Amino acid sequence: MIMRKLLAEFFGTYWLVFGGCGSALFAAGIPDLGIGFAGVSLAFGLTVLTMAYAVGHISGGHFNPAVSFGLWASGRFSMKELLPYVAAQCVGAIAAAGTLFTILSGKAGFAIDNTKAGAFASNGFGAFSPDGYSMQSAFITEFVLTLFFLLVILGATDKFANGKFAGIAIGLALTLIHLISIPITNTSVNPARSLSQAIFVGGEPLSQVWLFWVAPVLGAIAAGFIYKNLLQDRSDS
């Protein structure tokens, strides 16, 4: 049973990174025809929406270590499954980044310049923020957006909510998050997605990846406690 869940998390996170980061790498920068920030934002949302319905019934559809931590904090997820889920998500993300790297290696002149913001769809702050935002701005952004992302997830999947539409709400929330924050951090709210790209970029983006673990995880945990203690309907508990 646990292996099926871990495979679902592997494939779901793989699809998120391949589809979201892949859209940024392959389709965003083509002159006159590129999809731009809006297209990349939609791509990330669509990856989560599609996999939520494809494998969400198997694993719960986390595809993100921060989501797993937030669900644990809310009391909906077991501690004994937390680390295996996070490991499966990270392996899936890194596998997807490896696939993207292999594809891009077939393009003439391809090279990752780890002195540039957003290289290989990496996240960053300061000189590695797409629009030059500071570490403080990046931390606040990732914390707040992950907190609200988890509030959407927890609310949409509540037993009193209409669960059939949860995937749509969650996918649209992730789209909105990207529309807000791509210029600030290149948008993480997902530690596995940040780690996978940073590993291939190296340099300063890799040394900054700590922020994209700490801020999203703290934001998710805060959301779990807020929902559990302030928002959750206990009338039928």
pLDDT digits (tens, 9 = 90+) for 66-83: 999 999 999 999 999 999
What confidence score (pLDDT) does residue 24 get? Answer: 97
Domain ranges of the chain: 2-231
Which tokens belong to 117? 């913001």
Say how far apart CA 104 and CA 112 lie, in whole Å. Answer: 10
pLDDT at 20 over 90: yes
pLDDT band at 202 (very low <50, low <70, confident <90, very high): very high
Q: How many residues does the chain have?
A: 237
Question: Is CATH 1.20.1080.10 what the domain over 2-231 is classified as, yes or no?
Answer: yes
pLDDT at 199 over 70: yes
Alpha helices in the chain (DSSP H): 2-22, 36-59, 65-73, 79-104, 135-156, 166-185, 191-201, 203-207, 211-226
Percent of the chain predicted with pLDDT > 70? 99
Q: Residue with structure tokens 């589809």?
A: 19
pLDDT band at 236 (very low <50, low <70, confident <90, very high): low
Kindly report the average pLDDT of the chain as a whole number.
96
Say how far apart CA 13 and CA 56 lie, in whole Å. Answer: 12
Percent of the chain predicted with pLDDT > 90? 94
**Residue 180 Cα distances to 107, 142, 186, angstroms:** 31, 11, 10
pLDDT band at 31 (very low <50, low <70, confident <90, very high): confident
* pTM for this prediction: 0.96
What confidence score (pLDDT) does residue 233 get? Answer: 84
Residue-wise DSSP of 209-233: TTHHHHHHHHHHHHHHHHIIIII--
Which phi and psi (to 5°) does residue 69 adopt? -65, -40
User: pLDDT of 87-99, one tens digit each?
Assistant: 999 999 999 999 9
What confidence score (pLDDT) does residue 234 get? Answer: 78
What confidence score (pLDDT) does residue 163 get? Answer: 85
Mean pLDDT along residues 190-209: 98
Q: Where are the beta strands (DSSP E) in the chain?
A: none
Q: Residue with structure tokens 């049973």?
A: 1
pLDDT at 65 over 70: yes
Say how far apart CA 44 and CA 182 lie, in whole Å. Answer: 12
pLDDT band at 30 (very low <50, low <70, confident <90, very high): confident
Mean pLDDT along residues 100-109: 96
Q: Residue with structure tokens 């952004």?
A: 141
Say how far apart CA 131 and CA 108 lie, in whole Å. Answer: 28
What CA dihedral angle connects 139, 209, 201 and 179, to 10 degrees? Answer: -30
CB 124 within 8 A of CB 117: yes
